[in-house]
Amino acid sequence: MKSATATINLDLLDPLRTLEKCISKDILPIEAVFHYFNCNGCRQDKVQGWKYRDEIDGQWKFFTIVNRCSDCFNGRQSKEVFSEIQQQRNQRLMDQYWLIDPMLKEAGFKNYQVHNPVQENAKKIVSQFVRSGVKGKFEPENLLIIGSFGSGKSHLATAAARSFKEKGLCTGFLMEEHYISLIHSSYNGGRKKEADILQDLKRFDVLVMDELGSENYKMEESSWVSTRLLHLINARKGKATIYTTNLNTETLPKAIGERAYSRLKVNTKIVDLYSTDYRDNFLQ
C-alpha cells in the first residue's frame, strides 16, 4: 500500500479534525497522514483513509470509513439497480403470461394421480427436469409431453411451472390459443407488436406452451399459424420450454407444420403419456 499527504478535499486537508469526529472520543490522534487502502472489490489501493498515531501507545493505526472504492461502489449500485429492474420486468411478464387453467391452479407433483407405469414414468421425467433446471442446467433443454385427453399432461406441465416459479425462475404459461390470440390482437390495434410479444416470450427462463396443435384452423389460416409457431420455437432456442399436446408424433407435424415440428424436436425429450384417461377412475 501507499501513503501520501492529503490533497483531495477539505476534510483530508485536516485529517486530525476528521479523525476526532470518527474514532472513539477516548482516543486523541496526535499525527495523521492520508492513506490508500486495499479495496474489497477490485483489490487495488484505491480506498481513501488515514493512518494515525494516538497518544496512548504511539503506534500507527489505520482508519477508513468505507471498504470499497468509488468505482466498485458505483458498480455495485449499478448491479443492484439492474437487478431490481430485472425483477420488476420478470414480475410484469409473469403477470401477463401466467394463464393457467383455474382448474389446475393447485396442480402439483404430490397430487398428480398415478394409475399406471406410463404416468409414473412421465412424472419421474418431468420431476427430474425440474430438479436439473433449478440447479441451473436443464437436461434436456425442452420437453414435449404427448398424451390423450385426461392423461395428466397439463397437470404435470403446471406442476413443473409452479415449481419453477416458486424457486424464483421467471416462468410463463399459456395455451396455443392464447398465443395466437395475442398475435392477432397485435394486428388489431393492440398495445404490443408481434415482435414485442416474441421478445417477451423469449425472456422467460421457462415457458409452458399447453395444448399445442389442438386448435382447428381454417385451411387459409393454418399456414399462418404454423409460421407463428415456428417463430415462437425459434425465439425459445436456448431456453427451456415445455410443450404439451394430445396429438401423437404422426399427427402433430400435420397440425403445426413440418418445419415447426422439425425445429421443435431439437434438444427436446418426448414424454409419452398415452394412457387410459385417469379421470375415468373417478367415475367408476
Q: Is residue 201 part of a domain?
A: yes
The reply to whether 181 and 243 lie within a common domain is yes
pLDDT digits (tens, 9 = 90+) for 141-189: 999 999 988 889 999 999 999 999 999 999 999 999 999 999 999 988 7
Distance CA 282, CA 152 (A): 14
3-state helix, strand, coil in the chain (%, to 5): 45, 20, 35
Q: Is residue 1 part of a domain?
A: no
The reply to whether 15 and 51 lie within a common domain is yes
Domain boundaries, position 21: 10-68
Kindly give, in sequence order, each residue whose CB lies less than 8 Å from that of residue 253, ignoring residues fewer than 6 positions away: 261, 262
Contact 36, 45 (CB under 8 A): yes
The reply to whether 194 and 109 lie within a common domain is yes
The reply to whether 64 and 93 lie within a common domain is no
Residue 281 burial (CB count, 10 A): 11
Distance CA 1, CA 85 (A): 38
pLDDT digits (tens, 9 = 90+) for 208-259: 999 999 877 766 688 899 999 999 999 999 999 999 999 999 999 999 999 9
The reply to whether 170 and 229 lie within a common domain is yes
